[in-house]
């Protein structure tokens, strides 16, 4: 396996079950993110990607956006950046950054600049993402450029894909979704088209490194054909 993607669902439910505020579930979830990154590194994966927030998440209201942004800014700055610098990780960010708070956008910009040349594990976070918006924005950009250059040929998927938010990510080999739901919720359709899908009933704050080791064992037993008969 080269690229594992994780959908970290269930933080709010984890907090409610314990009589805590929703934000406490997100804070606990960052500890699980670190555990999964550790496991990915130990298993010699090249990419691990987390679905940090969908566009729908960002439409839950200003209070939600601010609390989620605060959790990520603190985690990325205080915890993950020092680890990335010590281990040579590249931190990559994907999504519609216009929907993010200025604080999170500034944090992402600084961290990206500090780790862009690192050659180790690439840890990616997908923020404010919507699959239809990703395709529409990329197509509109290509279409506009063709008009400006008097190019009236049809746009190709290769041209459009080059300008998608997720263009820097390679195909996903496996997706692990926590939280008990068996769906991808529009997560990176162009990258997950041939991904093996794994679902866990665990709420994400309860995730452990062992989950990734178990997933790897199951993944190795799968014969991947990519649509071919053999």
**Which CATH number belongs to the domain containing residue 77 in this structure?**
3.40.1180.10
Read off the pLDDT of residues 163-193 as tens digits, 9 standing for 90 and up. 999 999 999 999 999 999 999 999 999 999 9
Q: What mean pLDDT is reported for the chain?
A: 92
In 3-state terms, what secondary structure has residue 175?
A: strand
> Measured between alpha carbons, how far is residue 31 from residues 38, 183, 184, 198 in Å?
11, 24, 23, 21
Considering the domain architecture, whether residues 73 and 39 belong to the same structural domain is answered as yes
Same domain, 138 and 54: no
Number of domains present in the structure of the chain:
2
124 and 181 in one domain?
Answer: yes
CA gap 52, 54 in Å, rounded: 7
Rounded Cα distance between 89 and 105, Å, is 20
Range of the domain at 8: 3-129+171-220
Element (H, E) at 176: strand 174-177
Domain membership of residue 229 (yes or no) is no
- With residues binned 3-state (H G I as helix, E B as strand, rest as coil), the percentages for the chain, rounded to 5, are 50, 15, 35
Confidence of residue 63 (pLDDT cuts 50, 70, 90): confident
Q: Are residues 109 and 46 in the same domain?
A: yes
Q: Which residues are catalytic?
A: 9, 57
Average pLDDT of span 204-210? 97
Query: Is 227 inside any structural domain?
Result: no
Span 107-140, pLDDT tens digits: 999 999 999 999 999 999 999 898 899 999 999 9
Q: How far is CA 12 from the centre of its chain?
A: 18
Residues 176 and 216 in one domain: yes
Eight-class DSSP state of 180: S
229 pLDDT more than 60: no
Residues 26 and 136 in one domain: no
Residue 230 domain-assigned? no
State the burial class of residue 192 (Cβ atoms within 10 Å of its Cβ: 0-12, 13-18, 19+).
Answer: buried
pTM for the structure as a whole: 0.92
Same domain, 12 and 37: yes
- What percent of the chain lies above the pLDDT cut of 70? 94
Average pLDDT (72-95) is 97
């Amino acid at each position: 396996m080269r690229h594992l993607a994780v959908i970290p669902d269930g933080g709010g439910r984890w907090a409610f079950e314990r009589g805590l505020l929703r934000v406490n579930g997100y804070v606990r979830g960052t500890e699980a993110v670190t555990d999964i990154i550790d496991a990915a590194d130990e298993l010699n994966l090249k990419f691990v990607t987390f679905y940090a927030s969908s566009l729908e998440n960002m439409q839950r209201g200003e209070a939600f956006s601010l609390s989620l942004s605060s959790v990520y800014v603190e985690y990325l700055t205080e915890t993950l950046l020092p680890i990335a610098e010590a281990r040579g990780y590249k931190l990559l960010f994907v999504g519609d950054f216009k929907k993010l708070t200025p604080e999170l956008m500034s944090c992402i910009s600084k961290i990206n600049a500090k780790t862009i040349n690192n050659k180790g594990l690439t840890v990616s976070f997908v923020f404010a993402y919507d699959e239809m918006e990703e395709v529409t924005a990329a197509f509109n950009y290509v279409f506009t450029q063709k008009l400006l250059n008097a190019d009236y040929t049809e746009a190709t998927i290769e041209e459009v894909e080059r300008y998608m938010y997720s263009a820097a990510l390679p195909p996903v080999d496996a997706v692990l979704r926590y939280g008990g739901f068996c769906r991808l919720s529009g997560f990176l359709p162009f990258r997950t088209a041939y991904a093996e899908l794994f679902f866990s009933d665990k709420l994400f704050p309860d995730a452990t490194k062992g989950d990734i080791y178990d997933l790897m064992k199951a993944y190795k037993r799968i014969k991947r054909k990519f649509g071919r008969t053999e």
